[in-house]
Amino acid sequence: MQIPKRMRRQAVFLDRDGVLNFDDGYVGQIEQFRWIDGVIEAVRTLNEAGYFVSLVTNQAGVAHGHYPEAAIAALHEWMQLELRWQGAHLDDIRYCPFHPEGKVAAYRRHSDWRKPASGMITDLCRSWDIDLSKSHLIGDKASDIEAGQVAGLTTHLFEGGNLLDFVRARRLV
């Protein structure tokens, strides 16, 4: 059975390091994590506007041996708790721990989930009814923008500042 097109939700796909938190290089522990200004308010505002809000993030720190996957899971769980305490949430999360030049053999490979490929977005679209024609990606790197464009999203390059102001300036809410 197909879901009628009118029931599909618009989505905003968010990169993590450089969009949700300051990119201090291989952020894999809660103690290293620093929210960017306006993030919690931006996510809450997107939630309230009816967007499906998800995280799509490369996490090559796993492949390079900086931290294990369990650290990523713990950090993402903590992020969700922090968001929920303030009335916001991420609907889903995808991350890519692989890198073709990784030091950890189990994670040393190419992956269609690693941006600039769009595998994480494609996987989320298989899991949720998303209207790509009305959806957006916010990233801070060319690889984020390329992944969003390949997936058919409207893309926005975030170069710092307050994320809520950025979302409002692009008239997403």
What are the residue numbers of the active site?
Answer: 15, 17
25: left (phi over 0), alpha (psi -120 to 50) or beta: left
Q: Is 80 exposed, middle or buried (0-12, 13-18, 19+ CB in 10 A)?
A: middle
What is the rounded (10 degree) CA torsion for 145, 146, 148, 152?
130
Count of H-run helices and E-run strands, the chain: 6, 5
d(CA 81, CA 170): 27
CA angle 65, 146, 152 (to 5 degrees): 125
Cα Rg of the chain (Å, integer): 16
Q: Where are the beta strands (DSSP E) in the chain?
A: 11-14, 52-58, 92-96, 136-139, 154-157
